[in-house]
Amino acid sequence: MSSSTVYVETYGCQMNVSDSELILGKLADAGYSQVDSPDGADVILVNTCAIRDHAEQRVLGRLGELKRHMKPGAVVGVAGCMAQRLGPRLFDRAKHVSLVIGPDGYRALPDLIERARDGERATAVDFDLEEHYQGFSARRFEGVKAWIPVQRGCDYRCTYCIVPTTRGPERSRPLLDAVREVEQVAEQGITEVVLLGQTVNSYNDGSHDFADLLRAVGRVDGIRRVRFTSPHPNDFSERVIAAMAETPEVCEHVHLPMQSGSSRVLKRMLRRYTREQYFECADRLRAAIPGLGLTTDIIVGFPGESDEDFAETLSAVREIGFNDAYTFKFSAREGTAATRFPSADDVPDNVASERLARLIATMRAGARRANMAALGQRHEVLVEKEARRGGLLQARTRDFKTVIIPGEPSLIGSYVTVELTGTTGSTFTGTVTSERVELPLAG
Ligand code: 5AD
Ligand code: SF4
């Protein structure tokens, strides 16, 4: 057993956060202890994202900085999507890196680290279609909720997206295995789980679909809230929507990536739905689940996006009334189909920036209106952590509103009822009307 130390830094999505938890679990089992600073660590791992060029540039900058924190003989490794995308090319970009390991390679991590320590430049970038990291015990970063990966990879081929290249084909983890992990976290006192997958509602382990999974996870003793991210609009079958509606633990919130409000752009993105079909999906979800919060992802400046196309995105945002959105400027990713559109289709950067600013303003105005209308409502919240401003706590409603409330840190992890008393436009302030809802919920 080693008594070495490891420092892990994570970029990108929740799947990466979850992967870092698995990495740390694996290394803890191999005798490593986790440290909070790269200074003096024996192993420094950066778990990376490749979704936009900006994400990669940040990592390259950070790798440069980390050089200054390396002690002699330390191993610096790059994990995750950028490692998968660039493979050994990363060694040329950052000479002090001696380990490159893609999202399916973490089982071999202790051995690879040993090899890197022996002076080798170690790489693991093969996909493993059986890999669900069974037998790993995740080291969780968050105290009150747990990320549960249930599906890895993606079988869609959205033309802008690098994920199918970096995370490989879609595969679903066996239901029993996922449920067992939920039971374990529930035994540790965690009451909220977030099921993770690239198109999580297409989950199918050969015998069970996502509807079965939602119902099974909802039944686990002690679990009070079930969330999932991110679904694809085309995979909301009637069975899945019924399971959401009929499972009391499944929260009234869906993050439903729209990407564009123009059918013409959606077609070029190969999203496989039209504007109308997306609206229909949102309507079906709202009809089945009263009080549903809807958030989304939107890309502006996709090749060929005209002023009219963009106007359709703005009108979709207004008409649907999202509670929040992650908004992005299109970033061309090497190897994706979107790079093969004629260069005449490129949207100039200043146009894309201007569209992004207008989209954000439209989004904020809509959210502010909806949030003002919610003042006075009472909600059950889970107290998640201390707020950035001193002496306050950050809590979350079932429909994914952030509420800042007064209270002692000892309330973290418990459920209280709050009244929404103010809003900054995006988040709320609230007062506690009843403390410590009894746990667990019946059922
Ligand atoms: N450029 C910009 N945004 C992208 N996304 C994915 N690929 C790209 C890209 N090449 C966005 C999508 C996706 C979110 C996770 O990132 O909106 O839903
Ligand atoms: Fe990328 Fe599309 Fe798969 Fe989402 S569904 S990971 S956007 S290819």
Query: What share of the chain in percent tops pLDDT 70?
Result: 98
Ligand 2 centroid to residue 156 C-alpha, Å = 6
pLDDT digits (tens, 9 = 90+) for 47-73: 999 999 999 999 999 999 999 999 999
The pLDDT assigned to 439 comes to 54
pLDDT digits (tens, 9 = 90+) for 239-259: 999 999 999 999 999 999 999
Q: 145-373: what CATH class? A: alpha beta
3-class secondary-structure state, position 148: strand
pLDDT digits (tens, 9 = 90+) for 135-172: 898 888 888 999 999 999 999 999 999 999 999 999 99
**Cβ of residue 98 lying under 6 Å from some atom of ligand 2:** no
The pLDDT assigned to 443 comes to 38
pLDDT band at 425 (very low <50, low <70, confident <90, very high): confident
Q: What is the rounded average pLDDT for all residues in the chain?
A: 95
Specify the residue with its C-alpha closest to ligand 2, atom 4: 198
- With left for phi above 0 and alpha for psi between -120 and 50, is residue 403 left, alpha or beta? beta
Ligand 2 centroid to residue 246 C-alpha, Å = 28
**Cβ of residue 156 lying under 6 Å from some atom of ligand 2:** yes
Ligand 1 centroid to residue 112 C-alpha, Å = 31
Which ligand gives the minimal distance to the CA of 151? 2
Average pLDDT over residues 214-238: 98
- 365-384: b (≥16 Cβ within 10 Å) or e: ebbeebbeebeeeebbbbbb
Q: Residue 435: pLDDT above 90?
A: no
The pLDDT assigned to 436 comes to 63
**Cβ of residue 156 lying under 6 Å from some atom of ligand 1:** no
Q: What is the distance between the alpha carbons of residues 150 and 210, in angstroms, rounded to a whole number?
A: 10
DSSP code, position 70 = P
Question: Domain segments of the chain: what residues?
Answer: 5-124, 145-373, 375-432
Same fold, 145-373 and 375-432: no
The pLDDT assigned to 361 comes to 97
**CATH no. of 375-432:** 2.40.50.140
Q: What is the distance between the alpha carbons of residues 163 and 165, in angstroms, rounded to a whole number?
A: 5
pLDDT digits (tens, 9 = 90+) for 82-122: 999 999 999 999 999 999 999 999 999 999 999 999 999 99
- Residues 6 or more apart whose CB falls under 8 angstroms from that of 119 comprise none
Q: Residue 440: pLDDT above 90?
A: no
pLDDT digits (tens, 9 = 90+) for 293-330: 999 999 999 999 999 999 999 999 999 999 999 999 99
The pLDDT assigned to 141 comes to 83
**Residue 275: what are its φ and ψ, rounded to 5°?**
-55, -45
**Cβ of residue 232 lying under 6 Å from some atom of ligand 2:** yes
Q: 5-124: what CATH class? A: alpha beta
The pLDDT assigned to 426 comes to 86
**Cβ of residue 154 lying under 6 Å from some atom of ligand 2:** yes
Which ligand gives the minimal distance to the CA of 299? 1
Structure tokens at 334: 């090497």
The pLDDT assigned to 442 comes to 41
Burial of 35 (0-12, 13-18, 19+ CB in 10 A): middle
Q: Sign (positive/negative) of CA torsion 259, 260, 265, 267?
A: positive
pLDDT digits (tens, 9 = 90+) for 342-354: 999 999 999 999 9
Ligand 1 centroid to residue 165 C-alpha, Å = 14
Q: What is the distance between the alpha carbons of residues 441 and 12, in angstroms, rounded to a whole number?
A: 33
**Cβ of residue 179 lying under 6 Å from some atom of ligand 2:** no
pLDDT digits (tens, 9 = 90+) for 10-49: 999 999 999 999 999 999 999 999 999 999 999 999 999 9
Average pLDDT over residues 417-425: 94
Contact 46, 77 (CB under 8 A): yes
**Cβ of residue 164 lying under 6 Å from some atom of ligand 2:** yes
Structure tokens at 292: 């549903």
**Cβ of residue 257 lying under 6 Å from some atom of ligand 1:** yes
**Cβ of residue 328 lying under 6 Å from some atom of ligand 1:** yes
